[in-house]
Amino acid sequence: MSNEIKGSRVRGQGPAPAGFKQGSEVRRALNKFYDRAFSVVGLIATMVGLAVLLTLLIDVFMDGASRLGWQFLTSYPSRKPEQAGILSAWVGTVWVMALTFIIAFPLGVAAAVYLEEYSKKNWLRDFIEINIANLAGVPSIIYGLLGLGLFVRALSLDRSVISGSATIALLVLPIIILSTREALKAIPPSIREASYALGASKWQTISYQVLPAAMPGILTGTILAMSRAIGETAPLITIGALTYVAFLPTSPISSEFPFLSLRGLFDAFSVLPIQIFNWVSRPQKGFFTNAAAGIIVLLIITFLMNGIAVWLRHKYQKRIRW
Amino acid sequence: MYKRFRVKEKIIEGALFLSALSSVFVTFGIIAVLFFETYEFFKEVSIIDFLIDTQWTPLFAEKHFGILPLFAGTFLSTAIAMAVSLPIGLISAIYLSEYASEKLRTAIKPILEVLAAVPTVVYGYFALLFVTPILQKLVSGLSGFNSLSPGIVMGIMIIPIIASLSEDAMHAVPMSLREGALALGSTKFQVSIKVVLPAAFSGIAASFILGVSRAVGETMIVAIAAGQQPRLTLNPLVPIETVTAYIVQVSLGDTPTGTIEYKTIFAAGMSLFVVTFFLNMISYWLKKRFREEYE
C-alpha cells in the first residue's frame, strides 16, 4: 500500500514499474470518486437545514392557518380554545419591544462609539471587549435570573412590563454593541480627518459625520437584535411574566390631563412566545392549533424584521463606495 | 466660548464611557445575583450533596438536591444536538467554502441564517408535535417526552452556527496552501480534508464549542419536548429534565422568595453560568488564536 502511494508521488519521473502504475491508477480513480461523491454529499448536507426549515413552515402553516383571523387577534386567552386569542400577548410584545429599543439602542450605540472612537488600546478596553464577547454567549435564561434578582426583587419593580423590558434590553445590548462597532469600523478615517480639518470637534465629527454614515449598518444590527428579542421566551418566564393575562397594560395615551401615562410600565404582562409556550404545554389538542396560529404570527414578524435588515444591508452595501 | 466647548466634549466622553462600562455592570450584576442566592442556598444544602447526590427532588416532600440528574439531561440533549450539527455543519462548511460556486454560497448563507432566527419556542413546538410523533413510528419504546427529539431539533438549530463560523475559518485559510497541494496533484477533496481542515482547525473547534455552549443554555426546546423528570440516565428515549428546563418549571409555579425552591433555581443557574462561561472563553481564545495565525 505504501509503495503505491509513493508511486503516485513520483508520477511523471520516468517509467514506473508495471505494478506501481496499476496501483496509482486505482488510487487516482478512487480519489476522483471521493471528490465527486463529496460534491453530492456536501450539497445534500447543505440542503438539510433548508429542508427542515421548509418542513417546519409547512407543518406550522397546516396546523394553524385555519385558526388565524380577526377574532384570534382581538380576543383574550380563554379556557375554550376556539374562543382564545392573542390580544394581550401581542400588545405585551409591542410594549416590551418598544421599551427594549428605548433602553438598549442609545446605551448600545453609546458604548460602541466609546470603544471605537474614544478608547485607547489598554487593559480596560481589552477587559470590556472580553466582557462583551462573553455576555453575548451567556444563555438567555441567566439574564432571566438577573432580571428576577435585580429588577423584580432588589428594585421591587415586580413582574412588570419595565422589568421584562429591562431584562431583554440587557440581553440584546452586547449584540447591538458588537454590530454598531462593525458599522463604525467601516467608516474610513478620511471622513473623520476631513471633518477635523474643517475645525470640527471630536463629538461634532462623530455626531454629524460618523454616526449618520454608519446609521444603516447600526440599524441593520439593531433590527436583527430586536428580531431575536421578540422570540425570547425563557428570560421572561423566569422573571415571572404571566402565562394567562386577560387585560392590557394601561394605555400610554389617556383622555385626561396630562394625556400621557406611564402606569402601563408597571402593569403585569404576557408576550407572544409565552402565550405560545402556554398553549403548547396544555394537553387539549385545540390549544395546539392556537399555538400554531400564534407561531405563524410570530414568524411573520420575525421574518419581516430579518427581511428589512437584509434589505437595508444590501441597499447600502451597494450604494456607498468609499 | 472655547472652554465651554471643551467641557461639553468631556461630559459627552464621560457619558459614553459610562455606557461602555454598563456591560461590565451587567456581568457583575449577573455574578452578584447568582452568587448571593447560591450562597444562601448552600447555607441549607451541603455542597457535597449538591455535587454527588444522584437525585434532584426539591419540589417533593422528601427533598434531594443532587444537580447530577439535571446535568445528565443537559449533557444528553447536548450530545445528541452536537451529533447532528457537527457532521452536517462541518460538511456544509467544507462544501460552501471549497466546492460551491460564489453564487450558491451567497444564496445559501442567508437562508441558513434564517434557521438561527427562528424563535426557539417554535422549534419546541416542532419537536413535540412533529418530530416526536414521527420518531415514535421509527423507534419503539420512545415516550412522548424524550431527549432524542429535542436533541435532534436543537442540532438543526445549531447547524448555522457551526456551518457559518467554520466556513469563515476555512475561507480565511490562505489560497497558497491550497494551490500548493493542488499543484502536487491532489483532488479538491484531498485538499479540503488534508490541508484546509487542519489549517482551519482552531476556528472549527471554536465554532464547535460555541455550538455546545448554545446547546447547554438552550431552554425552550427542552422545556417543551423533553419532559420534567430529572433522571440520571443516558437513555435518549425517556423523559428527562435539563438544568434550564428546571428553572423554567420552577418559574412557572408560584414560588415565594426566600424558599429553598426559589434558591435552587439560582444554584442551578450558577452551575449553568460557570459551564457556559468556560466554554465561551475557550471558544473566544481559539478564535483569537486562529485570527493571529492568518491575518
**Which B positions 13-52 lie with beta carbon below 8 A of chain A?**
13, 15-17, 19-24, 26-27, 29-30, 33-34, 36-37
Instruction: Please report, as a single letter, which amino acid is at residue B287.
Output: K
Q: What is the pLDDT of residue A29?
A: 87
Partners of A137 on chain B (C-beta within 8 Å) are 210, 213, 276, 279-280, 283
Lookup result for grid cell 413546538: B125
Nearest to B248 by CA among A253, A270, A241: A241
Tell me, yes or no, whether A153 and A235 share the same domain: yes
- Indicate which of B4, B5, B22, B26 best probes the interface with A, i.e. most A CBs within 10 Å of its own CB: B26
Q: How many domains does chain A have?
A: 2
Closest CA to B243 of B75, B81, B123, B121: B75
**Contact yes or no for A145 and B283 at CB 8 A:** no
Interface list for B 122-161 with A (CB within 8 A): 122-126, 128-130, 156, 159-160
Residue B49: CB partners within 8 Å, gap ≥ 6? B64, B65, B66
Given a contact cutoff of 8 angstroms between Cβ atoms, the answer to whether A168 and A98 are in contact is no
pLDDT greater than 90 at residue A10? no
Q: Are residues A59 and A77 in the same domain?
A: no
> Is the sign of the CA dihedral A210, A215, A217, A222 positive or negative?
positive
Least Cα distance to B220 among A269, A95, A276 occurs for A276
Same domain, A142 and A44: no
If asked whether residues A199 and A251 sit together in one domain, one would say yes
What interface predicted TM-score (ipTM) does this complex get? Answer: 0.90
Cell numbers for A264: 402601563
Residues B23, A35: C-beta atoms closer than 8 Å? no
Asked if residue A255 and residue A135 are part of one domain, the reply reads yes
Q: Share the mean pLDDT of chain A.
A: 85
CATH number of the structural domain spanning residue A149:
1.10.3720.10
- Asked if residue A23 has pLDDT above 90, the reply is no
Residue type, A250: T
* Cα atoms in the Cβ-side hemisphere of radius 13 Å centred on B225: 31
Average pLDDT over residues A18-29: 72
* Residue A294 and residue A223 share a domain: yes
Residues in chain B, pLDDT under 50: none
Q: Are A176 and A109 in contact (CB under 8 A)?
A: yes
| CB pair distance less than 8 Å for B119 and A230 | yes
Which three cell numbers mark A54? Answer: 421548509
Predicted pLDDT at A3: 43
Whole-number pLDDT of residue A18? 53
Q: Do B108 and A52 touch (CB under 8 A)?
A: no
Same domain, yes or no, for A202 and A158? yes
Q: Mean pLDDT over residues A190-210, rounded?
A: 92
pLDDT of residue A159: 83
Do A30 and A170 belong together in one domain? no
Question: What's the confidence (pLDDT) of residue A7?
Answer: 41
**pLDDT tens for residues A60-99?**
999 888 888 888 888 888 888 888 888 888 988 999 999 9
**Hey, what's the torsion of the CAs at A65, A71, A73, A74, to 10 degrees?**
-170
Last residue of a domain, one of A40, A64, A88: A64
Chain A residues within an 8 Å CB radius of B192: 38
The pLDDT of residue A226 is: 92
Structural domain that includes position A15: 2-64
Q: Are residues A146 and A256 in the same domain?
A: yes
**Of A2-6, A228-232, B268-272, the least confident:** A2-6
What pLDDT does A254 receive? 65
In our burial notation (b when 16+ CB lie closer than 10 A, e otherwise), range A120-149 reads eeeeeeeebbbbbbbbbbbbbbbbbbbbbb
Q: Are A118 and B13 in contact (CB under 8 A)?
A: yes
- Report yes or no: B101 at the A interface, CB cutoff 8 Å: no
Percentage of chain A exceeding pLDDT 70: 87
| Residue with grid cell 437584535, as numbered in its chain | A225
More confident residue, B163 or A260: B163
Asked if residue A139 and residue A21 are part of one domain, the reply reads no
Is residue A12 located within the same domain as residue A133? Answer: no
- Residue A136 and residue A75 share a domain: yes
Predicted pLDDT at A65 = 87
**Cell of residue B68, nine digits:** 447530577
Residues from chain B that touch A231, judged by Cβ atoms under 8 A, are 118-122
Which of the listed residues A64, A98, A115 is the one where a domain comes to its end? Answer: A64
User: At A160, phi and psi to the nearest 5?
Assistant: -105, 170
Of A64, A88, A110, the domain-final residue: A64
CB contact under 8 A, A140 and B125: no
CB contact under 8 A, B27 and A237: no
Of residues A271 and A18, the one with the higher pLDDT is A271
Residues of chain B found within 8 Å of residue A30, distances taken between Cβ atoms: none
Q: What is the pLDDT of residues A277-316, one digit of tens each?
A: 999 988 888 899 999 999 999 999 999 998 888 888 878 7
Q: Residue holding cell 419532559?
A: B227
